[in-house]
Amino acid sequence: MTGDLEAQRHAAAAALAVKRGEAEAARLEGPSRIMHEHLTERELAEMAGDPHEDLPGPKG
């Protein structure tokens, strides 16, 4: 299941790059193209984010 989530994050990151003008829309395929067309930049940023970024740092 984590492989599917990672693939989804990569697709969202690609779509987000296009929304921000960092990549060309012609390079998008499949799920990333659909995400680019139907989601906002904020939604894509949430999907593409690191799932561990909200966790506290290591002890010590």
pLDDT in tens, 22-57: 999 999 999 999 999 999 999 999 999 876 667 677
Q: Which residues of 31-42 are buried (b: 16+ CB within 10 A; e: fewer)?
A: ebbebbeebeee
Q: What is the pLDDT of residue 45?
A: 92
How far, in Å, are 19, 33, 48 from residue 38 at the CA level? Answer: 11, 9, 15
40: phi then psi, degrees, rounded to nearest 5: -80, 170
Higher pLDDT, 60 or 8: 8
